[in-house]
Amino acid sequence: MMYEAHRVAITGMGLISPLGAGLTRNTEALKSGRHGIVPMTDWARYGGLSTRLGAPAGDELPSYPRKRVRTMGRVGLLSLYATESAVEMARLEDEFIRSGHVGICYGSTHGSTAETEDFCRKLFEGQSFEAISGSSYPKFMSHTCAANLAMALNLTGPVLPVISACTSASQSIGVAFNMVRSGARPIMLCGGAEELHVVHAGVFDLVFAASTGYNDQPGQSPRPFDSARDGLVVGEGAGTLVLESFASARQRNVPILAELVGFSTNCDGAHITAPSSTGMAEVMRQALADASLDPSAIDYINAHATATVIGDIAESQAIFDIFGSRVLVSSTKGHTGHTLGACGAIEAIYCIEMLRQGFVAPSRNLTRPDERCAPLNYVREVLPTPDLRCVMNNNFAFGGINTSFILRSPD
Q: How far apart are CA 187 and CA 8, in angstroms?
A: 9
Q: Catalytic residue among 110, 143, 200, 304, which?
A: 304
Q: Catalytic residue among 35, 143, 197, 338, which?
A: 338
Q: How far apart are CA 46 and CA 76, in angstroms?
A: 26
Q: How far apart are CA 188 and CA 38, in angstroms?
A: 35
Beta bridge partners of 403: 265, 395
Q: 304 an active-site residue?
A: yes
Give a three-class secondary structure readout of the chain.
CCCCCCCEEEEEEEEEECCEECHHHHHHHHHHCCCCCEECHHHHHCCCCCCCEEECCCCCCCCCCHHHHCCCCHHHHHHHHHHHHHHHHCCCCHHHHCCCCEEEEEECCCCCHHHHHHHHHHHHHHCCCCCCCCCCHHHHCCCHHHHHHHHHHCCCCCEEEECCHHHHHHHHHHHHHHHHHHCCCCEEEEEEEECCCHHHHHHHHHCCCECCCCCCCHHHCCCCCECCCCCECEECEEEEEEEEEHHHHHHHCCCCCEEEEEEEEEECCCCCCCCCHHHHHHHHHHHHHHHCCCHHHCCEEECCCCCCHHHHHHHHHHHHHHHCCCCEEECCHHHHCECHHHHHHHHHHHHHHHHHHCEECCCCCCCCECCCCCCCEECCCCEECCCCCEEEEEEEECCCEEEEEEEECCC
Q: How far apart are CA 46 and CA 118, in angstroms?
A: 17
Q: How far apart are CA 88 and CA 222, in angstroms?
A: 33
Q: How far apart are CA 24 and CA 353, in angstroms?
A: 9
CB-based contacts of 121: which residues, under 8 Å, 6+ apart? none
Q: Catalytic residue among 145, 166, 351, 373, which?
A: 166
Q: What is the four-CA torsion angle of 83, 88, 89, 92, rounded to 10 degrees?
A: 100
- Residues labelled catalytic: 166, 304, 338
